[in-house]
Structure 1
Amino acid sequence: MTEKEREKEREEEREEEGVLETSSLDEREYEIQELRERLKSSRVSRFNLIENELSWRKKFSRESLLAGIKDFVILPHHWWYRAWSTFILLWAVYSSFFTPMEFGFFRGLPQHLFLLDFIGQIAFLVDIVLQFFVAYRDSQTYRMVYKRTPIALRYLKSSFVFDLLGCMPWDIIYKACGRKEEVRYLLWIRLYRVRKVHDFLYKLEKDIRINYIITRIIKLIVVELYCTHTAACIFYYLATTLPESQEGYTWIGSLKMGDFSYSHFREIDLGKRYITSLYFAIVTMATVGYGDIHAVNMREMLFVMIYVSFDMVLGAYLIGNMTALIVKGSKTEKFRDKMTDLMKYMNRNRLGRDICEQIKGHFRLQYESSYTNAAAIQEIPISIRSKVIREENPIYGRLQKSSM
C-alpha cells in the first residue's frame, strides 16, 4: 500500500470519528433538551396543580363561575355545581333522618330543629330551580343534552312534583287545617330525597379509590339503621297520638324498667324517649324481644305484624348482599378491577391528563351502556341479527341493497 493510500485511509477514519462525535454530541444535546422539557413540563404542571388547588381568587372569579354555564345551561361536571350537589346531599341526609323524627316526635321537638328544617327547605327550593337548567346524559343515546326545553320537560316528568311537595310547610298546613293527623302523613313525601343518598352510594361503589367491601358494608349498615330509626319514630307516634288519659294503654306508657316508670313519658327527656323507641324497634326487627317491651293496643299489634313481615324481607336482602360480597363476580366489581388495571397502565406509561380522562370516560360509558353491546344479541338468529344491524346502520343497509 502506497503512502498516499495510507494518508487517504487516515483522513477517512478521522472524518468517521468526527461524524460519530458530532452525532453523539447531537444525541447528548437532544437528551439534555428532552430532559429540560420534561423538567419544565413537570414544573409547569406542578405549578398549575398548586394554582388550581390554592388559587381561591381565580377559583371564585366571575369567569370561573360562568365557565360552568353554557347558553344558560349548567354543566353538571363543573366544580361549583358539584360543590352545590355535595351541599344538597348533606341536607338530604339530614332531611331523610329528621323527617321520621319530625313525624313521630312532633309534639316534643325543640324549636331550633324546626328552624334548621326551614333553612333546608329553602335550599331544596333553590335546587328545584337549578334542576331546570342542568344538562343531562340521555339514557338511550348516552349523549349530553344541552337544550333547555328537553331539560325542563325531563325534570317535570321525573321528580319535580315530589320535590315541590317535599318543600311544602306541612306543619303550618297541619295547624291551619285544624290539626288533622291525615295532613301530617303527607310529610313522608320528603323521604323521596333519599334517592340522592342512594345515588351517592352507587357512585361510591364504582370509585376505585375506596374499598368496595367497606363501601357495601357501610351501605348495608345505613339501610338497617335507617329502617330501625323510622320504625322507632312510628312506634312513638302510635303512643303519643292517643289522649293523655289513655297513656297507660300504650307500649311506652305501660313500660317499667326496674323502679323507673314511663307513666308520664311526655315529660321525660327527648333522648331517653328516642333510645327507648329505638331499642324496641331493634329487638323487634331482630325478633329477639325479651318481653320487657311489647305491643299493648290493637294499633301497635297491627304495626308490629307489618314491621316483622317487612323485617323478613330486609333480612333476606342483607344476607343476600353479604353473601354476594364473599362470592365475587358482580358487574360493579368487574368494572372496578378493570379500572384499577387501567389506572396502573396509565400511571406506568405517564399518559397525559386529558387522554386519561377520555379513556376513563369511555370505560364508564361502556359500563353504563353495557346492555347495548353487540354481545347481547349473539343468541338471536343470524337473519334477525342482520335486520337489527341494518336498523342500527341505515347506510350499511342501503349499501347491501344496492349490491344485491
Structure 2
Amino acid sequence: MPAPWNSNQRPRGEMARDELEDVPDAEMGQRYRKFPSDSLQSHISEPQKAPKKRLVFHYRTLSPETSYFLEIWDGIFLLVLAAVSVITPLEVAFDLARHEESSMVIWAIDAAFLFDMILQFFTAYFDTARSRYVRDVRSIAWRYLTGWFVIDLATTFPYQLFGELQHLRVLRLLRLHSAIQICRRRQANVGISFALLSLIKFLVVLSFNCHWMACLWGHIAWCHREGSWLEALEASKGGDPRLYTEWPGVYTISVYWAIMTLTSIGYGDITPQNQYEYVVASVCMAFMAAMWAVVIGQMCGVLATLLPHDVAFKRTMDDLNWLLKDRQMPMPIRTKLRRYFYESRSLTRLHEQKQIIAQMSPMLQGEVSTQLLGNWIEKVGYLNNLDCEVLVQVARKLKAQLFAPKEAIDNDRALFVVRRGVCMRGGRVLIAGDVWGKDMILSNPLLREATSVRCLSYLEVLTLRFVDLQDCVSRSSQGRALVRWWQIRLALQHAMQRISRAVRQMERREGSFADMPADTQKKVVLNVLHGHSPLAELPSEETCSNASAGLAGNQLEEIKSSILALTQTVESLQQTVLDMAE
C-alpha cells in the first residue's frame, strides 16, 4: 500500500537549496553547487519506473529480391492472368457461367485475385527517388490504397452471384496491369535478349487481340441470332448445324474473321448484316489495321538487330572478300584468310565482353573476372593468391590472340593460356586449359625456358606480358611480395635444374663432380648461371676492374655523346607529334 501524499514532501529527484554545497572553481573563477554524496546516492538508488509499453504488431513484409515465396507466386499469378485473359472473354461472350465446370474456375480465379490483393499490403515496393525498397507496412498500404486498390477490388467482386451484373465480369481484364508489374519486378531474372523478348511480346499481343475480337464478334451473333452475320453465313454456306449452334463452332468462325481483319486479307464470306455489326466491324478493322502496321514495323526493326554479332561478322567478311578480289589474291591464300576470320569470331565477342565488364562496379568486376578467368589460374601460383582488386587489373590486361596451324609462337616474356586448339611445346601436347610461360617473372633469361611452340590447329590463347603484370601489382604491397617470393622460388628451382643438367653432362667427360675441389665446383656453378661452359675460365677481379677503368676512360665520353644525341632526337620527335596533334 503506497504512503499517502504529504504536501510538505518534496517531489522525487528534487533537493532543497540548503542541501547544495558551494564549491569554488579556481580555474574558471566561478562557483558551482555540488550535490551532497549521501543525497546523490539516495537519488540514484531509488528505483525508476519502467515506461509503459504500447502493444504494437509487427508484420513481416515480403521483399521481391529475397522472398522465394513471392517469386513462386509471381509465376503462378502470371498463369492465372493468362487464363483470365482467355476464359473471361469466352464466358462473357457465350454465357458459359451457368456450367458447373466454368463456375469452379471462376471461383478459383476470384480466390487467387483476393489472395493477391492481400499480398499487396505486405509486398515491399521500390522507391526510385531513394533507390531502395520501402518495407514499412503503413507506407505500403497507403501506396496501394491510393493506387490500384479500387481497380483490383472491382476485378475481385463476385459478379456471378448477380444476374444483372453478369456482363461486368469483363472488368477482370483490368487486372492485367499486374502482369506488367510482375514482369518489371522479375526482369533481372530473365536472360533472354531484348530482341527475342520483343518478338514474344508482339506475338502475345496479336494472339490475345485476335481472341478478344473474335469473342466480341461472336457475342453479337450469339445474343442476337436473327438477322446476324451468323444466320447469313449459315444460309449461304450451310454445313453441319452444330457449327452455328454451339459456341466452339461460332468461336472458330469468329477467330477466322478476326485473323482476316487483322491481316487485311478479307475474303468477303463473313460480312456485317445490320447497323450494329457494321459499327463493330469498322471499329475492329480500324484498331487491328493500326496495330498490324505498328507490329510489322516494330518486328522489322527488331529482326534487323536480333543478331548484332552475326551482322557485324558478315560485314567484316564482305570487306575481306572485297579486299581479296581487289588485290587479286591467289585462291589458296583467300581460303586460308577466310578460314582464319571464321575461327576468330570468338575473339570479337571476347573484346565486346571486356567492354561490358568495364561498365560494372569494381566489386562486380572482381566477381565476374574471377569467373571468366576459369580454372587455369590455379596452375599459376602467383596469380591464384592475388587480391580480388589485382585480379581485376590482370583480367583487363589479358589479350586474346589466334594463331594459324603450323605457326610458331615466340615466347617474349609472357604467360600463355590455351583457350581453344592444340599445340606442341618441347615434345608435350597442350590443349585447352594448359599454360606455359609461368617463368616470365624471372629476370635472368638463362633461367627461363626458351622452348618454341608449334600450333597443330587453330590456336586461341590469352597472353599476359610481364610488364603488364608489374603494372598490376605495383599498387599492391601484398602482390609485390607475392610475386617476389615466387621469383625466388622459381629462380632456385630452375637454377638447380640447369646446374644439375650441366653437371651430368660434365661428369660424362670430366669425372665425378663431388671429387672436384671446392673452388672448381664454385666456378662450374657460376659458369652455368652466367651461360658459359662449365669449365670456362672466369675473369679475375683485377681484369674486371681494368676493363671497367678502360671503359670509364675511353668509352665514357662516347657513351655520353650518344645519350645526348638520343635525347635530342626524342625531343624533336615529341615536338613533331605535338605539332601534328595541333
TM more than 0.5: yes
Spell out, residue by residue over 1:257-295, the C-alpha distance to the aligned partner (whole angstroms, 9 max, x if none): 7441659833x3x33222111111111222211111111
The equivalent residue for 1:265 is 244
Q: Which has the higher strand share?
A: 2
From 246, 258, 263, the equivalent of 1:286 is 263
| SS of the residue 1:350 aligns to | helix
User: Which amino acid letter does the alignment assign opposite residue 280 of structure 2?
Assistant: F
| SS of the residue 1:137 aligns to | strand
The equivalent residue for 1:139 is 128
Spell out, residue by residue over 1:216-256, the C-alpha distance to the aligned partner (whole angstroms, 9 max, x if none): 111101100100100111111111222xxxx2411112213
From 309, 316, 319, the equivalent of 2:296 is 319
Distance in 2 (alpha carbons) for counterparts of 1:108 and 1:152? 34
1:212 CA displacement: 3.0
What is the 5 A alignment of 1:52-201? 71-77=59-65, 78-107=67-96, 110-173=99-162, 175=163, 177=164, 183-201=165-183
Q: Is the 8 A contact 2:62 2:124 kept in 1?
A: yes
1:166 CA displacement: 0.5
1:340 CA displacement: 11
Distance in 1 (alpha carbons) for counterparts of 2:173 and 2:358? 35
User: Which amino acid letter does the alignment assign opposite residue 123 of structure 1?
Assistant: A
| SS of the residue 1:144 aligns to | strand
The equivalent residue for 1:230 is 212
Distance in 2 (alpha carbons) for counterparts of 1:184 and 1:108? 9
The root-mean-square deviation of aligned C-alpha atoms, in Å, is 3.2
Q: Is the 8 A contact 2:210 2:258 kept in 1?
A: yes
The equivalent residue for 1:54 is none
Distance in 2 (alpha carbons) for counterparts of 1:208 and 1:169? 35
Q: Is the 8 A contact 2:92 2:169 kept in 1?
A: yes
The equivalent residue for 1:253 is 231
Residues 148, 280 of structure 1: alpha-carbon distance in 2 compared, 3 angstrom cutoff:
same
Q: Which runs of 5+ in 2 are unaligned?
A: 1-57, 307-351, 373-387, 389-582
1:302 CA displacement: 0.3
Spell out, residue by residue over 1:344-401, the C-alpha distance to the aligned partner (whole angstroms, 9 max, x if none): 97444139xxx9xxxxxxxxxxxxxxxxxxxxxxxxxxxxxxxxxxxxxxxxxxxxxx
Q: Which has the higher helix share?
A: 1
1:204 CA displacement: 7.0
User: Which amino acid letter does the alignment assign opposite residue 210 of structure 1?
Assistant: I
What is the 5 A alignment of 1:381-400? none
From 283, 286, 291, the equivalent of 1:306 is 283
Distance in 1 (alpha carbons) for counterparts of 2:76 and 2:192? 21
Residues 340, 82 of structure 1: alpha-carbon distance in 2 compared, 3 angstrom cutoff:
farther
Moved more, 147-156 or 78-87: 78-87
Spell out, residue by residue over 1:185-215, the C-alpha distance to the aligned partner (whole angstroms, 9 max, x if none): 4222211222233345556766562233322
Residues 119, 263 of structure 1: alpha-carbon distance in 2 compared, 3 angstrom cutoff:
closer
Spell out, residue by residue over 1:107-129, the C-alpha distance to the aligned partner (whole angstroms, 9 max, x if none): 58743022112111111101111
1:338 CA displacement: 4.3
TM-score, length basis structure 1: 0.58
1:104 CA displacement: 0.5
Q: Is the 8 A contact 2:91 2:97 kept in 1?
A: no
Residues 345, 193 of structure 1: alpha-carbon distance in 2 compared, 3 angstrom cutoff:
farther
Q: Is the 8 A contact 1:228 1:285 kept in 2?
A: yes
User: Which amino acid letter does the alignment assign opposite residue 231 of structure 2?
Assistant: G
Distance in 2 (alpha carbons) for counterparts of 1:325 and 1:134? 35
Residues 203, 222 of structure 1: alpha-carbon distance in 2 compared, 3 angstrom cutoff:
farther
Residue 216 in structure 1 maps to residue 184 in structure 2: no
Distance in 2 (alpha carbons) for counterparts of 1:307 and 1:340? 50
Spell out, residue by residue over 1:99-150, the C-alpha distance to the aligned partner (whole angstroms, 9 max, x if none): 1112101158743022112111111101111111111111322221111111
Q: Is the 8 A contact 1:204 1:215 kept in 2?
A: no
Spell out, residue by residue over 1:46-86, the C-alpha distance to the aligned partner (whole angstroms, 9 max, x if none): xxxxxxxxxxxxxxxxxxxxxxxx84322223101111222
Q: Is the 8 A contact 1:104 1:236 kept in 2?
A: yes
Distance in 2 (alpha carbons) for counterparts of 1:151 and 1:318? 37
The equivalent residue for 2:521 is none
Distance in 2 (alpha carbons) for counterparts of 1:288 and 1:205? 37
The equivalent residue for 2:28 is none
Distance in 2 (alpha carbons) for counterparts of 1:213 and 1:262? 46
Distance in 1 (alpha carbons) for counterparts of 2:102 and 2:357? 43
- How many residues of Structure 1 are paired with residues of Structure 2 in the alignment? 265
The equivalent residue for 2:544 is none
The equivalent residue for 1:275 is 252
Distance in 1 (alpha carbons) for counterparts of 2:95 and 2:365? 53
| SS of the residue 1:284 aligns to | helix
Q: Is the 8 A contact 1:208 1:340 kept in 2?
A: no
The equivalent residue for 1:350 is 371
Residues 207, 135 of structure 1: alpha-carbon distance in 2 compared, 3 angstrom cutoff:
closer
Residues 171, 144 of structure 1: alpha-carbon distance in 2 compared, 3 angstrom cutoff:
same
| SS of the residue 1:134 aligns to | coil
Q: In terms of Rg, which structure is larger?
A: 2
Distance in 2 (alpha carbons) for counterparts of 1:302 and 1:323? 32
Spell out, residue by residue over 1:286-308, the C-alpha distance to the aligned partner (whole angstroms, 9 max, x if none): 22111111111111110011111
User: Which amino acid letter does the alignment assign opposite residue 265 of structure 1?
Assistant: Y
User: Which amino acid letter does the alignment assign opposite residue 64 of structure 2?
Assistant: P
TM-score, length basis structure 2: 0.42
Higher RCO (CA 8 Å, separation ≥ 6 residues): 1
Residues 99, 295 of structure 1: alpha-carbon distance in 2 compared, 3 angstrom cutoff:
same
